[in-house]
Amino acid sequence: MNLVEFESVTKRYQLGEVQVTALNSVDFTVQKGDFVAITGPSGSGKTTMLNLIGCLDSATSGEIRVAGQAVSQLSDRQLDTLRSRTYGIIFQNFNLVPVLSALENVMLPLYLHRLSKAEMRRRAQASLAAVNLSRFAGFRPDQLSGGQRQRVAVARALVTEPKLILADEPTASLDTASALSLVELMKQLNREQGVTFVFSTHDQRLLQHVKRVVELRDGHLSDSAAEAPLTAAAELTTDTSEVA
């Protein structure tokens, strides 16, 4: 099942008098259960592609379909509903609210879903358990390590039970051990719970641990599969709840 389909998608930006082509007639699909890394040099269009996948931007030409729906045919309200029901987002800089606990941060997206406070708390606790942070539920972000804060961000992305999680450079702010621990966590969620991930990275430490790599260069895309063993990640993360 295709969650996302790009058909001859082009995206151009006008920068002053100069027109920049970020994506040039790109064909691309994301299937349920995929674990995809988008890579390429800075300015190659990685963030543009994530924004288009997440319906945060619109294509200049071509067609984008999400869960079988042509995005260009949806109203603003329909797009809002599609985004809230389809995607979870992991931000590069965590974007946690500093005065809230880890549990309260994870609960935030659920306020849009008209759930009871008890149900929101139950889901948030389950999401924290999925990323091995149950005992840190009452901790504020400044009481957590960088890796732990990123895991809270993963739990927040998971809590709405999205079809697809998008992450823009999720390891950029992490040291090597925490970064590889996060990738192992995402692969575990992908493997055991069927969570679909698409993330951008130029971090060469991570690409050997990804089973599908999409490379962007000069607006064009190439796609490869490269399932690799996770032994290196395992060697670097003996206790992921502490290291990360």
In whole angstroms, give the CA distance from residue 201 to residue 192: 23
Helix H or strand E segment including 125: helix 117-130
List own/partner pairs for 14-17 with CB under 8 A and 24 or more apart.
none
Predicted local distance difference test score (pLDDT) of residue 75: 93
Predicted local distance difference test score (pLDDT) of residue 197: 94
In whole angstroms, give the CA distance from residue 39 to residue 162: 23
For the cut 70, the answer to whether the pLDDT of residue 232 exceeds it is: no
Mean predicted confidence (pLDDT) in 5-12: 96
Strand 35-39 to strand 220-225: parallel, antiparallel, or no bridges (unpaired)? unpaired
203-217 per-position pLDDT tens digit: 877 787 787 899 998
Contact 113, 104 (CB under 8 A): no
CATH number reported for the structural domain that contains residue 193 in this entry: 3.40.50.300
In whole angstroms, give the CA distance from residue 99 to residue 177: 27
For the cut 50, the answer to whether the pLDDT of residue 106 exceeds it is: yes
Report which of 170, 173, 194, 190 is spatially closest to residue 182, judged by C-alpha positions: 170
- The domain in which residue 74 lies consists of 2-243
Predicted local distance difference test score (pLDDT) of residue 227: 44
Radius of gyration over every alpha carbon of the chain, rounded to an integer in angstroms: 18
Task: Indicate the number of domains in the chain.
Answer: 1
Residue 234's Cα: distance from chain center in Å?
Answer: 22
Helix H or strand E segment including 35: strand 35-39
Predicted local distance difference test score (pLDDT) of residue 225: 58
Predicted local distance difference test score (pLDDT) of residue 174: 83
Mean predicted confidence (pLDDT) in 93-115: 93
How much is the mean pLDDT over the chain?
Answer: 87
Predicted local distance difference test score (pLDDT) of residue 93: 84
DSSP summary character for residue 215: E
In whole angstroms, give the CA distance from residue 229 to residue 168: 23
125-168 per-position pLDDT tens digit: 999 999 999 999 999 999 999 999 999 999 999 999 999 999 99
Mean predicted confidence (pLDDT) in 112-131: 93
Predicted local distance difference test score (pLDDT) of residue 87: 93
- Is residue 3 very low, low, confident or very high in pLDDT (cuts 50, 70, 90)? very high
First-last CA distance in the chain: 33
For the cut 70, the answer to whether the pLDDT of residue 45 exceeds it is: yes
